[in-house]
Amino acid sequence: MHTRPSTPGGQPGVAELCGDDPGAAEALAGAVEATAHGYAALLMDGPDRPAPAGVERAASQAAKAVRALIQGRAALGTSG
């Protein structure tokens, strides 16, 4: 899993988001990877090549799901 401090685009990576908790970083990285893979698998599940609009829609939905994972992680960190 990729837990580097930041991504090539300068956005924070899971290690940076999870502070000094490598276990949490690993779990968040796994959840992000599984979410992205799930959207890609569903997109490619049909018999035909996906239309560009379908690709954009899947990418947008995956990004929203990843944001929710990150926000959920932040909420868990502040509740305990």
1 Cβ neighbours under 8 A, 6+ residues apart: 26, 29, 30, 33
User: CA 45 → CA 11, 38, 42, distances in Å?
Assistant: 30, 10, 5
pLDDT over 60 (residue 3): no
42-61 per-position pLDDT tens digit: 888 888 888 899 899 999 99
For 17-26, how does the pLDDT look when each residue is reduced to its tens digit (9 = 90+)?
Answer: 887 888 888 8
- One-letter amino acid at 23 equals G
Asked if residues 13 and 3 have their Cβ atoms less than 8 Å apart, the reply is: yes
- Which has the minimum average pLDDT: 29-38, 54-63, 66-75? 66-75
Tokens of 21: 């908790």
Lowest mean pLDDT among 3-12, 35-44, 66-75: 3-12
pTM summary value: 0.67
